[in-house]
Amino acid sequence: MIEIKNLNKEYTEEESSTRALRGVTFSIEKGEFVSVMGPSGSGKSTLLHILSFLDRPTGGSYRFQGKSIDDMTDKELARVRNSDMGFVFQSFNLLSRLTVYENVEIPLLYSDIPSTEHRIRIEEAVQSVGLPEKLHTETGRLSGGQKQRVAIARALVTNPNVIFADEPTGNLDSESGLQVMEILKTLNDRGRTIVLVTHETATAGFAKRIIKIRDGMMESDTVAVSNHTNHDNLK
């Protein structure tokens, strides 16, 4: 599904330049649960932005579902991003005055999915994260853990091929974080591809494969020892 080779990203500002990524190479198959780990400033967020079409590399190649992004216009990238990718952010990115239903519907409003299908898709997505009773509640009234579950429902509603999760437990207490990771693990068990960015070892342990980035370079790419993390580490 995802294949990057010798990926580079350089930011130039006036006369200075910063290399955020240096020759990163790996591939991700459909149905994998991959965690990208690294300390602050390692390049993992830059990598996520490129993988999710929010930015373009300055060198190397990236093929998504067999197609090179070099051959795609910005408009095509935006269309693929909306139809094939779901996003879960550390800060939730929800509109607090809108209901759960209205927040989850937002990606559908920018899609080709007929409006007649919206209600059933929204209800199924919200049901899958265990919040059907909150469907018509304003999201500003929800707890942090509930907000992140709504964000996952929003990511699911277009039935994307891959979900990108950027520090999804970063703003949550340990119990809420555990619930969010259990939901992501269940989605993966059902065949959903998940790419998770985190600096937390316990959170990364839910993945089946861990890629470590340091100073913009690949440090390691390993299969997780166990897919059953010691949940006490999250508490």
Residue 232 has pLDDT above 80, yes or no: no
Looking at residue 203, the DSSP 8-state letter turns out to be H
In a domain, 11, yes or no: no
In a domain, 7, yes or no: no
Q: Residue 172 is encoded by which pair of tokens? A: 């949550």
Residue 14: predicted pLDDT = 79
How confident is the model over 206-220, as a mean pLDDT?
Answer: 95
Residue 91 has pLDDT above 50, yes or no: yes
Only one residue has tokens 């964000």, namely: 151
In a domain, 66, yes or no: no
Return the SS3 of 174: helix
**Tens digits of per-residue pLDDT, 23-57?**
999 999 999 999 999 998 899 999 999 999 999 99
Residue 218: predicted pLDDT = 95
Residues 6+ apart with CB under 8 A from 222: 209, 210
In a domain, 116, yes or no: yes
* 43, 36 contact by CB (below 8 A): no
Residue 135: predicted pLDDT = 97
Residue 130: predicted pLDDT = 94
- What is the phi/psi pair of residue 182, to 5°? -65, -40
In a domain, 113, yes or no: yes
**Tens digits of per-residue pLDDT, 132-189?**
999 999 999 999 999 999 999 999 999 999 999 999 999 999 999 999 999 999 999 9
In a domain, 104, yes or no: yes
In a domain, 144, yes or no: yes
- What is the phi/psi pair of residue 229, to 5°? -60, 145
Residue 15 has pLDDT above 90, yes or no: no
CA distance 12 to 196: 27
By residue range, what is the domain housing residue 170?
A: 29-58+79-234
CA distance 196 to 80: 19
- Of the pLDDT bands very low, low, confident and very high (cuts 50, 70, 90), residue 230 is very low
Report DSSP letters for 12-69, one per residue: EETTEEEEEEEEEEEEE-TT-EEEEE--TTSSHHHHHHHHTTSS--SEEEEEETTEEG
CATH assignment of the domain containing 171: 3.40.50.300
Angle between helices 118-128 and 144-156 (to 10 degrees): 130
Burial class (CB in 10 A: 0-12, 13-18, 19+), 107: buried
∠ CA 165-35-195, rounded to 5°: 40
β-bridge partners, 143: none
CA distance 83 to 77: 10
Residue 31: predicted pLDDT = 96
Domains contained in the chain, number: 1
Residue 226 has pLDDT above 80, yes or no: no
Residue 13: predicted pLDDT = 84
How confident is the model over 74-87, as a mean pLDDT?
Answer: 92
> For the chain, what percent of residues have pLDDT higher than 90?
84
- Average of per-residue pLDDT values in the chain: 92
In a domain, 46, yes or no: yes
